[in-house]
Amino acid sequence: MKRSIIGVAGTAKNTGKTTTLMTILKKLKEKDAPAIGLTGIGYDGESFDNVTGLPKPRIDVHEGMIVAVAERCLKYGRAKIETLFQTDIQTPLGRIVIGRVKEAGKLVLAGPVKGSDLRKVLDNMGSFGAGHTFVDGAFGRMAPFSGADGIVLATGASRNSNIAALAQESGYMMKLLGRPVMAARGRAARFGSVLSEESLNAFFDAFVPADTMIVEGILSGRFLQSVAKNRDLSGKRLIFDNPLKLLLAGEINQTHAALDEMEQGLKMEVGVQKTVKVIAVTVNPYYPKYHYATRDYEAAFVDKTELRSGIGASMGLPCFDVVVGGGDGLLQEIYKLF
């Protein structure tokens, strides 16, 4: 049986990631899809948002699914899970356990944090029959998605209630994710993460005498402009491990502007070692509106039609509101991977 890994990531809290994921799982159940797997990166599934206090759904799992969660999750969910294998991967909520859902219900989802641990978990899940496995992950935990066959992004007004600004940023996001694949040219150097002034200086010391620099970690957004203004790097080639690392650098707009300045001002070539396929995007018009007088939040909404058309056009992706339109269209996009 063909196996596939699909990541589902939200660009911010309350952008509809969990609703998107539950819609996909529900549709797969309706179609009697076999051997569905589910895990997550880090912790999610809280009953209430820990910032706003507004309700958040947990994950609905159905009988027969293969799941990988931290031990303590088994106590707090209502789904009945048969333990198949206990890994040696530790998390703040206990070791990761591979299990089969024996009785449908809600599940608190907490999985491995590191990409290497996620790969081990996915291999273990596959050995117990998981074919198409979905991985839940927040925006700041997307790096392990580099090994996924495809990603579904969930965005919306909770990231920015200004639709025009959100659409522009979303378009820049896709440009970062669509960076061309490049190979090293001439003399190549490699560097980990650039997260401090000290590491930036070391980065320049390694890059200036080289023709190509391969960044294997995170090049912080606060230092991208320094790179873009360094005339000693003119005409060189800068390659990132994968485009998700660019999303984690800092503000999307600033990262896009810095890379544009590198290309236009320094005539640098900026690319990646491997691509990440974005399957589709879902949008959520809801956002928690803060009241300064009472210091609390209430549910608010932007125009859902304008949001969907704006985001779909800017990202150049199939765009869905799964609450309004259901999940059939999204599932069709996902099935193209199977």
Read off the pLDDT of residues 65-106 as tens digits, 9 standing for 90 and up.
999 999 988 888 899 999 999 999 999 889 999 999 999 999
* pLDDT tens by residue, 196-215: 999 999 999 999 999 999 99
Q: Tokens 């509101």 sit at which residue?
A: 321
> CA-to-CA distance for 48 and 246, rounded, in angstroms?
30
* Digit-coded pLDDT (tens) for 152-174: 999 999 999 999 999 999 999 99
CA atoms within 13 A on the CB side of 310: 23
Interatomic CA distance for residues 178 and 271, integer angstroms: 9
Mean pLDDT (whole number) for 124-150: 91
The Cα–Cα gap between 228 and 256 comes to: 11
Percent of the chain residues topping a pLDDT of 70: 96
pLDDT in tens, 40-68: 998 754 554 444 443 445 899 999 999 99
Is the per-residue pLDDT at 222 higher than 50?
A: yes
Is 80 exceeded by the pLDDT of residue 110?
Answer: yes
With cut-offs at 50, 70 and 90, classify the pLDDT of residue 250. very high
